[in-house]
Amino acid sequence: MIEIWRTLRESPQTLVAWYRERYAIYTSLPKPEGYAKILISYNRQPNGADLLFLCRSCYGGVVRFRKADGYMSTPCGVHDPISPSAFAERVEIWRRRTAGATFTLGDFEQMMQQAQAGDLVYCDPPYADSQSILYGGQNFSLHRLFKAIADCKARGVRVALSIDGTKKSGAVECSNEAPEGLFEREAFVNCGRSMLRRFQRVGETLEDEVVHDRLLLTY
């Protein structure tokens, strides 16, 4: 992922070329053979170029990795990936939006320690309610994250955290494990219909499966 973002910043046309080359492979073979060829290439040697196209063409856009060997296991999506020209337009939009950004791969605690008073840190960890299903984040420690957030708050660093809110159109409120007093405010953000339920209930309208994220703020 970091390779993709750094290429966007340093050579956006390379990003467009990556996508165009793999789109040609995808469309030159019967579905899903083209997708499978790119997936095999990625699993043989993980790289940003293959992952970029796989993210746009895999089932539901949900990228999954097998715990046993780290291989990406998501099958081909039922949709057609966007055209190279449409992708190029998106690259230009995001090139402008991320101008001046630095993309770094590192442990979240080490990154957050670099924040200074007045900075804003946004955290989007694996969600406790669904991480075992979608994110493969079973080993992620929310307790460790909350400690890092408390350290930031004590230094005057503002922190915003997205975490489980409600599901089933508000009928179910997900548990909130945040320590008392750590956050000053919370808000609920409408995320639309459940992605997971969309897979499980194909063809249904899902009015009863609207999901809200909980946005917690230390300021």
pLDDT band at residue 197, thresholds of 50, 70 and 90?
Answer: very low
**Number of Cβ within a 10 Å radius of residue 191:** 15
68 touches 24 (CB < 8 A) = no
Report the CATH fold assignment for 2-97: Adenine-specific Methyltransferase; domain 2 (1.10.1020)
pTM over the 0.85 mark: no
Q: In the chain, what percentage of residues exceed pLDDT 90?
A: 67
d(CA 193, CA 210): 4
Compute φ and ψ for 146, nearest 5 degrees. Answer: -60, -35
SS3 assignment, position 60: helix
pLDDT above 90 for 181: yes
pLDDT band at residue 169, thresholds of 50, 70 and 90?
Answer: very low
Instruction: Show me where the domains of the chain are located.
Output: 2-97, 108-217
102 touches 85 (CB < 8 A) = no
76 touches 58 (CB < 8 A) = yes
